[in-house]
Structure 1
Amino acid sequence: MYNFLQNFHSGWAYLTLLAGVLFFVMIGYYAINKKARNNFITKLSFFTTLVFHIQLIAGVVLYFVSPYAQWTENTMKDPINRLYAMEHPLMMFAAVILITVANSKLKKSEVVKITPAILGLIALACVVSRIPWEAWLG
């Protein structure tokens, strides 16, 4: 089960990054040009939020079955253990909250504003800053 979850979580991360980048670019484009929210933007926002939430659920389950996220007295002293046990989960949770808030703000206005794009960019920064690159690409 652990290997399946790890592979799913790692593979789904590509879709999460793609959805996050597409969200930021398209929402930013619509906001800069002061375009009205349309069906495409509504679906893109929903899809991005859904992808981020699925990634979060997979990550939470993986957190509890992973041998890397074990808390010991040395967890905070070792950078790798700290990344897996605390930094990665907290930043990903923050990213999901930001995308959810961006989706909510987007649904409340007829004209796309810049705030959801900024929230999407901050969410992407949270994700990219705490991906365990050595494990993910290695």
Structure 2
Amino acid sequence: MNLYQILQNFHSGWAYLTLLMGVLFVLMIGYFAFSKKARTAGITKLSFFATLTFHIQLLVGVVLYFVSPYAQFTENTMKDATNRLYAIEHPLMMFAAVVLITIANAKLKKSESVPMSSFILGLIALVLVLSRIPWSTWLG
């Protein structure tokens, strides 16, 4: 097994945890924000671990990007949907999602109650992740 396969397997497996943490983040932050509840230690920890999970996924993804045979820029990158997904769309959307979840976590830490903006940013981050997962790789 080479470095690319190891990273790809880790990145694919860790993606399940990242999705789970993203969903938990959105559900719990949404519940607290809509209920106008005060921030608790549990919600702060959940937010931290969700953010950490996203960051680890991003770091592995960045390394994988540079060793991947799929993320190549050629004259056909924009013409081929698969190549465009791996070379441009997936990395950019995942980076944006990590930035948004990081901002949501920072807003949460600075507030006594759970701000609605943290929920909205987390929701957008989750939608970005779901929109650019290479589902064909996952499902078949």
Q: TM-score, normalised by structure 2?
A: 0.97
Where 2:25 maps in the other structure, the secondary structure is: helix
Q: Find the counterpart in structure 2 of residue 97 from structure 1.
A: 99
**Number of the residue aligned with 2:18:** 16
CA offset at residue 137 of structure 1? 2.2
Which residue in the other structure is 1:56 paired with? 58
Aligned to 1:84: 86
Q: Unaligned 5+ residue runs, structure 2?
A: none
1:72 aligns with 2:74: yes
User: Within 2, Cα distance between the matches of 1:126 and 1:33?
Assistant: 25
In structure 1, what is the Cα distance between the partners aligned to 2:95 and 2:14?
16
| Equivalent residue for 2:119, pick from 117, 120, 125 | 117
SS at match of 2:50: helix
1:131 to 126, 130, 133: 133
| Structure 1 residues not aligned, in runs of 5+ | none
- Please give the alpha-carbon distance, in whole angstroms, between the structure 1 residues aligned to 2:41 and 2:15: 25
Matched, 1:32 2:34: yes
TM-score, length of structure 1 as denominator length: 0.99
Letter in 1 for 2:41: N
SS at match of 1:26: helix
Give distance in 2, aligned partners of 1:99 and 1:137. Answer: 26
Consecutive aligned runs of 4 or more in structure 1 exceeding 6 Å deviation: none
Q: Distance in 2 between matches of 1:10 and 1:137?
A: 12
1:97-119 deviation per Cα after TM superposition (whole angstroms, max 9, x unaligned): 00000000001110112110110
2:125 aligned partner, one-letter code: A
1:42 aligned partner: 44
Task: State the one-letter code of the partner of 1:49.
Answer: T
